[in-house]
Amino acid sequence: MKRSFLRAKIHRAAVTRVDVEYVGSLSLDEELMNAAGLLPFERVDVYNVTNGKRFSTYVIKAGRGSGEVGVFGAAGRKAGPGDILIIAAYALLEESELEFFTPRIVILGQGNAIAEIRS
């Protein structure tokens, strides 16, 4: 039986851009995606620490080193510039995989710079 576990988390990402007219997704600085092990179009759950709203979407690449965290489409109604987000991806694991599994946690600081990576 497979069970769902946290695979990757970006903690304290500050929204830099919102566009409700965009078709919909979450743009992330490519450096942040790589640090968390996220791939383009991978599903993520987003938890808005600022207002308590939650949504699911997929990730697209923003420019490397840009610090961009963009919230687009309908999700743009659940976040605003400056809001603080937790971005989480999950994986289905067999019990035999659990002994060696550790999620990757990326903690951000000022300007969405990587402050710490835990894995």
Which residue ranges make up each domain of the chain? 2-92+100-118
pLDDT for 27-61, tens place per residue? 999 999 999 999 999 999 999 999 999 999 999 99
Active site residue 22: no
State the Cα–Cα distance between residues 70 and 102, nearest whole angstrom: 27
Which of the residues 25, 47, 90, 119 is marked catalytic?
Answer: 25
pLDDT for 92-112, tens place per residue? 999 999 999 999 999 999 999
pLDDT for 54-91, tens place per residue? 999 999 999 999 999 999 999 999 999 999 999 999 99
Active site residue 66: no
State the Cα–Cα distance between residues 70 and 45, nearest whole angstrom: 14
First CA to last CA distance, the chain? 25
- Which CATH architecture is the domain 2-92+100-118 placed in? Beta Barrel (2.40)
Please compute, for residue 112, the number of CA atoms within 13 A of its CA located in the half-sphere on the CB side.
30
Q: Residue 23: what pLDDT?
A: 83
Q: Residue 24: what pLDDT?
A: 74
- The answer on pLDDT for 9 being more than 90 is yes
Which of the residues 22, 47, 58, 90 is marked catalytic?
Answer: 58
